Amino acid sequence: MSGKLTGRVAFITGAARGQGRAHAVRMAGEGADIIAVDIAGPLPPCVPYQPATPEDLAETVRLVEKTGRRIRASVVDTRDIEGLRAAVDTGVSEFGRLDVIVANAGVSAPQVWDQIRPEDFRDVMDINVTGTWNTVMAGAPAIIDGGRGGSIILISSAAGIKLQPFMIHYTASKHAVTGMARAFAAELGRHSIRVNSVHPGPVLTDMGTGDMVTQLGKAMETNPALSHMMTPFLPTWAVQAEDIADAVCWLAGDESKYVTACALPVDQGSSVY
């Protein structure tokens, strides 16, 4: 590692496992201290995969500390803005600053359009959209107070550029995150804060556990013509979480110092129309 984030502090949501853990470990490897949060508990009924646990979050702590960097981790639901503010305040008090926000926490739920209940739609939007907004609102003031500028990265999806069949609520939420990044970029630019969105395609994480694959397969059976809409150009269909972390780390550092309001796909070409 080159130490490109030495002396900086990153606030990362959904950090207990998967992409969030990969972001935390990658940034720590580049010299950043980490403020990490995760719900580490039950998810809404429409989400068919296994949730993260406190033990998962503890493993992220172990892996970050293994790099020699510091981490302050806490169990917080991103729908709880006061909980997020408390996590940021505690972390900034301990580490002295905040430079990077990675709004990574989110959920996915495969459901045919007419099987989505109002509470399912609300839960996905609350976590993926309101939770992302809460994350920025909790952390951005600390970056502004530092007077050094910074980088905010919102994790959207290929579904936030194109769409994900059989996930209307997820697709709507990720399009909202894409627009949110651009709007925050416009208003926070005066503080030298860059805001970008990252759009992964298929990633090998715990979202594939539980009944996720079965539920997606059942949904595809209702309209097989849509099942190949996200076929990538490259021969690698699904990537590792660390591959997404590479892009996120680049956006966090100075190599991307003039990149803002960008929707960066890391999806092997799957979101191209």
Report CA-CA distances (Å) from 138 to 34, 53, 89, 101: 15, 23, 9, 10
Strands 193-200 and 71-75, sheet pairing: unpaired
- Nearest partner of 137 among 76, 83, 198, judged by Cα: 83
- 170 carries an active-site annotation: yes
Q: Which of 49, 170, 258, 273 is catalytic?
A: 170
Catalytic residues: 170
